[in-house]
Structure 1
Amino acid sequence: MLLMVSLLTGLLNGCSGVHYYSQAVGGQWDIWQRTQAISHLLLDESIDDTLKQRFNDILAMRAFASRELHLPDNDSYRHYADLQRPYVVWSVFATPEFSLTPKQWCFWFVGCVTYRGYFSQTEAETFADSLSAEGNDVYVAGIAAYSTLGWFADPVLNTMLHWSDWRLAGLIFHELAHQQLYIANDTAFNEAFAMTVEYEGIKRWLLFRRDEAQWQEYQRWLNYQHDFNQLILDFRQELDALYQESLEPSLMAFAKQNKFAQLQQRYQELKTQRWDNFSGYDRWFNEVNNAKLNSVMTYQQYVPALQTLLAQQEGDLLAFYQAAAQLGALSFAQRQAYLAQLSE
């Protein structure tokens, strides 16, 4: 996610205010105070061997990212910070009650994005409550990592360490991809580009490591993720069609409630019929609303199109980055049209 630059530029464009800016600067300063070079930590005799091995693996992932994936070669993810909390930031998504058009917040450096991040969970939930009081659907998501688009050397955080090796590698590839290419005012394109690099990077990383167990785990996860994304995409299209109808608010609210009940039923059918009762998505399906649906589509909507673009470059990542940058140079409408063609 591109949270940190958004946080730090909040005051500059006048859309956030002094308090928002203050918590942003304070949060970033706290990270800087805690950051240490991994190379130095490896020499620290007080750190146990298990954590040191994790650090060595991270440095290998980081080297692979620049050497094999041609991602930026800088100090990002070569340092570590223990924040002593489960997430680095909490991101707020909001959508009108009967619409799937997400609310946006605009910042000087990054343009407009469809989320707003806070270093404090309490602050994020307070802001979400204010949006909910205005009649919006809201969703607060804990975020394990962020990108400053190369403005700062982003560290590895304790919030990432509990993940499996392939997921941690993918996260590093994802965040570095944001440094490789970023298009202002198009959150969905930026996240889809980073997801495409993440997926391709994980595949190449696991082939490089020749870790059969991790490869099998990753393939299972891909199957679950594909089914989940398709379920949400299909449902979102149906829900959008409902919201286009001219219904009284009370009738629309009733129809919306029924629609979301159908989604829960479809999820249970997916679990029993295809997933052998795998429950890994149960938590996500608690209290689903428009905003939570959009949080998924922000990341996944254009991934198939960009994977097609990568295939057109015969897997050449440098050529893919160039083609994606050319796509990013188009107007928003032109880019949308081209992505639609790639998705066919």
Structure 2
Amino acid sequence: MIKSRLRDSLVLLLAALLTGCSNAGYYAQAIGGHFAVMRAATPIARLMSDPASDPRLKSKLHEVQAIRDFASRNLALPDNGSYRAYADLGRPYVVWNVFAAPELSLKARNWCLLMVGCVSYRGYYDQRDAEALAAELREQGYDTYVAGVPAYSTLGYFDDPVLNTFLRFGTPEVARIVFHELAHQVVFVNDDSLFNESFATALENEGMRRWLASNAAPGQRAIFETQRLRKAGFAALMHAYRDRFRALYDTDRADGAGPTVAQRDAKAALFAALRSDYAELKASWDGYAGYDAFFGDDLNNAKLASLALYNELVPAFEALLARLDYDLPQFYRSVSQLAALDKDARRQALTRLMPAADETRQAQGSVALGAAEVR
């Protein structure tokens, strides 16, 4: 099955290159970059049985194996070859994603690609390529953001390996990432990044709740709970300010007119207020500074848009899961039914869940937003 999917994927990708697709250079780096990752992978079982393997690496991989088994046994996630091999890429991230949004809008620019449809980012295996695209987009007037990404999913077309890029974060973070990425193999809808990422984040949250309850030591649970509360506070702050930015951008816009000095000043003032409110929030975190880099000099619309991608519909999915009494197989079936709807109907169905979702968010918080933290 995997070999058949691999063959079909390569046929489509090569067809794009041979027909002079304008994205040929992008697809070429994507193919080369991904196969370099796959070539670097070694089965975890082989590393565990090799006397020459680093004992510290073996200890970490032993925990990874337990997480991977938990994912299929306890969360009904696919039982396949994904996350049963390990690759050290010799760099801190596997890809770098470029986000872009207009100067006076939070609507992220989309790129349409083979296999996955349209997404709100463009990923590169070389950071320099990502920075070059960001520079081009800035010249066109976009706000841009380049984010290092520790993991991605090939949706089951390949057996995705465990990578040094996220193994370095520790066992709880590995569990979070494995649950999230395997969720993409359960349900994935072309041209709807918000749906896909919100579903995977909701499943990740539930997976972490169950994994921590049965596997983590008390100290790990306490640390993760502290992180969860910080992330929930950060998420609430960003959600409130996204609404304020949308209200600003939706008013006083003359059709066809460029940004005015007053509009730019209002935007700068709102970002200053956001930084001030973050500083107040951070003061309650006992010196934790994991989000400081996010609030650096490059804070802009693209950064705000990148967070919405992962979180805006999470409460709706969590409310659906609660309504189904946390039955994960039934949850996956219900999400698959939503995925079969057209995009507008899908969004309306999830929006109807949002009032109940507000209670879920208050009770549980969010364990998403890890990408915004400094690692």
TMscore range, shorter length: over 0.9
* Aligned residue pairs, count: 339
1:317 matched to 2:291? The reply is no
1:145 to 131, 142, 151: 151
Hey, what does 2:8 align to over in structure 1? none
2:271 to 260, 267, 272: 260
Hey, what does 1:169 align to over in structure 2? 175
Q: Distance in 1 between matches of 2:15 and 2:50?
A: 36
Hey, what does 2:125 align to over in structure 1? 119
Task: Give the SS at the match of 1:68.
Answer: helix
Q: Distance in 2 between matches of 1:64 and 1:234?
A: 36
Hey, what does 1:3 align to over in structure 2? none
Q: Distance in 2 between matches of 1:289 and 1:207?
A: 38
1:282 matched to 2:282? The reply is no
> What are the Cα deviations for residues 124-161 of structure 1, in whole angstroms up to 9, with x where unaligned?
10011111110000000000001000000100011111
Q: Distance in 2 between matches of 1:196 and 1:28?
A: 27
Matches within 5 A, 1:222-233: 222-233=228-239
2:139 to 133, 139, 144: 133
Q: Distance in 1 between matches of 2:21 and 2:318?
A: 35
Shift of 1:108: 2.6
1:334 matched to 2:340? The reply is no
Shift of 1:331: 1.7
* 8 Å contact kept, 2:96–2:148: yes
* 8 Å contact kept, 2:180–2:201: yes
Provide structure 2 residue ranges, at least 5 long, that are not aligned to the other structure: 1-11, 254-258, 356-375
1:71 matched to 2:71? The reply is no
With the length of structure 1 as denominator, give the TM-score of the two structures: 0.94
* 8 Å contact kept, 1:13–1:108: no
Matches within 5 A, 1:295-310: 295-310=306-321
Task: Give the SS at the match of 1:178.
Answer: helix
Hey, what does 1:291 align to over in structure 2? 302
**Superposition RMSD in Å:** 1.9
1:204 matched to 2:210? The reply is yes
* 8 Å contact kept, 2:13–2:114: no
Deviates more, 1:158-167 or 1:119-128: 158-167
Shift of 1:18: 2.4
* 8 Å contact kept, 2:108–2:120: yes
* Structure 1 residues 13 and 330: CA distance shift in structure 2, 3 A: farther
Task: Give the SS at the match of 1:42.
Answer: helix
Task: Give the SS at the match of 1:59.
Answer: helix
Matches within 5 A, 1:77-92: 77-92=83-98
Q: Distance in 1 between matches of 2:19 and 2:228?
A: 40
Shift of 1:275: 2.4
Q: Runs of 4+ in structure 1 displaced over 4 angstroms?
A: 6-16
Q: Distance in 1 between matches of 2:157 and 2:14?
A: 11
Q: Distance in 1 between matches of 2:15 and 2:182?
A: 20
Q: Distance in 2 between matches of 1:212 and 1:35?
A: 33
With the length of structure 2 as denominator, give the TM-score of the two structures: 0.87
Q: Distance in 1 between matches of 2:71 and 2:164?
A: 20
Deviates more, 1:254-263 or 1:21-30: 21-30
